[in-house]
Amino acid sequence: MDDIDMISEISGSYLQKWMALKNFKNLSMLGLKEATSTLFYQQLEAAQQLGHNPIYEKFIDQTLYREKIDPLEAAKRVSSRLINEAQYTVESSILILSHTLLDTTLLELCRFSTVYHPERWDEDINEKTVKFEAVQSSDIHQIRQQILCKKIEELERKSLIEKADVLYKRCKPEANFCSTIHNEYVYDRDKLKMYDEQRHDIVHGRFNPTQQIKDFDNLLLFVEQTGMHFIIMICEYYNTKISSSKAFECMTIT
């Protein structure tokens, strides 16, 4: 695989998976909207049953229940909470999946750089030790690639923001680069770091499922554009181009 094929495969795969994520989001939101009234009437029936069905007499004071509980208000509150929790589940799932997609893409861009432009990484491997037998049996290019393969393995275990920092260190774009991919997009490391930490909080249960993720749609757009920002940044820095046919081929793989 040459450099054009590899960068085209990375970009095609990225776009395909983002299309799938956005389709999942749209279908989920449509489903929640359609389910809202059905869920309300289900909860209304349940609230009415608790106050009148003899089945519940043994463990509910139904007279007191009928005095204190308005079935309509109970149904509104419970169905609203259930819809909010379902929306949070959808949003948090999409956030986690988008994080995995962006993280994987940045790692692949780092790998691209080590394979086709390994000299850019020489400062990272200057202090690496190599066994004498390796020097005897391999040339300098093979030794460099072996060390860089281990470097990528180490980078795979690092955070999203660390991968982004490595790419910016290796392939820092021109000052006006951000305006060349989208008029309203600006790379924001602090926002990316917040997103990285937010995903970590969700995975470890440090998030309230009754609250929605703040400014979710704009956050998702920022993340999607950030991936393309890095892809195009690599193309520009290394003076390579994406093959539209190869990228489309990757996008349509089933």
Radius of gyration from C-alpha coordinates of the chain: 26
- The DSSP line for 148-159 is HHHHHHHHHTS-
Residue 169 sits at the vertex; the CA angle it makes with 165 and 171, to the nearest 5 degrees, is 110
Residue with tokens 């990225």: 14
The span from the CA of 242 to the CA of 5, in Å, is: 8
Report the share of the chain in percent with pLDDT over 70. 84
181 DSSP assignment: T
What pLDDT is recorded for position 107?
96
* Size of the chain in residues: 254
Cα separation, 104 vs 7, in Å, equals: 13
Residue 135 above 60 pLDDT?
no
pLDDT at 158: 94
Mean pLDDT over 185-198 rounds to: 92
Single pTM value for the model? 0.84
3 state DSSP class of 226: helix
Using the predicted structure, report yes or no on whether residue 222 has a pLDDT greater than 90.
yes
How much is the mean pLDDT over the chain? 85
How far is it, in rounded angstroms, from Cα 238 to Cα 225? 20
Judge residue 116's burial from the number of C-beta atoms within 10 Å of its C-beta, 0-12 exposed, 13-18 middle, 19 or more buried: middle
Segment 212-228 shows an average pLDDT of 90
CB 163 within 8 A of CB 99: no
Place of tokens 């999409």: 94
Q: Alpha-carbon distance 147 to 47, whole Å?
A: 66
Read off the pLDDT of residues 61-88 as tens digits, 9 standing for 90 and up.
989 989 999 999 999 999 999 998 899 9
